[in-house]
Amino acid sequence: MNPILVALDVSTAAAALALADGLRGTVGGYKIGSQLFTAEGPSIVRTLTERGDRVFLDLKFHDIPNTVAGAIESAGQLGAWMMNVHASGGAAMMRAAVEAADRATTPGSPRPLVIAVTVLTSMSAEALASVGIDRAPIEQVVHLAGMAKESGMDGVVASPLETAAIRAACGPDFVIVTPGIRGGSAEQAGGRQDQARTMTPADAIRAGASYLVIGRPITGAADPRSAAEDIGRDVLAASIQH
């Protein structure tokens, strides 16, 4: 599967569908986050999945286990291919999310992937310290990834700088989704350095990423489809080398 997941960080269904229609066939799926979901609700997820698109529902659930389980089950029933929770919600919450995903699976359909957010890519060591976490980002990420794996999660969301360490700790089949993709073709396409821990698309693949979440370097480009194709070529070459 094409590992590029385009972040549809727009405020209307019309804008999201225009991007999706223009990019279909050049990317592996679409990420729907809080901005679009809050504006348009579940219908945008249904619309894309009914068109055959893979949707990563990036709502980062973080609540008591029963509440998160209900949200995961509802997301699965929408047809989301992948969804996430915050690993910092704890092992019981993550186990509840996995069990809910199992319940949401319909006969003949694959079980949705449930992954855990480790440390947001915007957070530096100083930012972690400000909220009482004394570990370096990579130590906190690997700790949370190990907890996620033990809880039955399919994988994690982490910055590309931690991908190799997660891969070493959690094995070859653990899903690693990496935002914070900048530089290379992504930089040429209009990426901005607003995240603390970033990497080029090709380097992220070589480090062991399973999927790359890419937003503005594609959606903000003058020609989004051409930008996606350029990044796709870089990623394919890196995959072959890797």
Catalytic positions, written as ranges:
60
- Residues sharing a CB contact under 8 Å with residue 41, sequence separation 6 or more, in sequence order: none
Look at the block and give the residue holding tokens 């003949």.
108
In whole angstroms, what is the distance from residue 164 CA to residue 118 CA?
A: 14
Both structure tokens of 110: 């694959």
What is the identity of the amino acid at 64? I
First to last CA, the chain: 16
- Residues sharing a CB contact under 8 Å with residue 5, sequence separation 6 or more, in sequence order: 27, 28, 29, 30, 31, 54, 56, 177, 211, 212, 213, 214
Look at the block and give the residue holding tokens 């855990």.
116
In whole angstroms, what is the distance from residue 90 CA to residue 67 CA?
A: 13
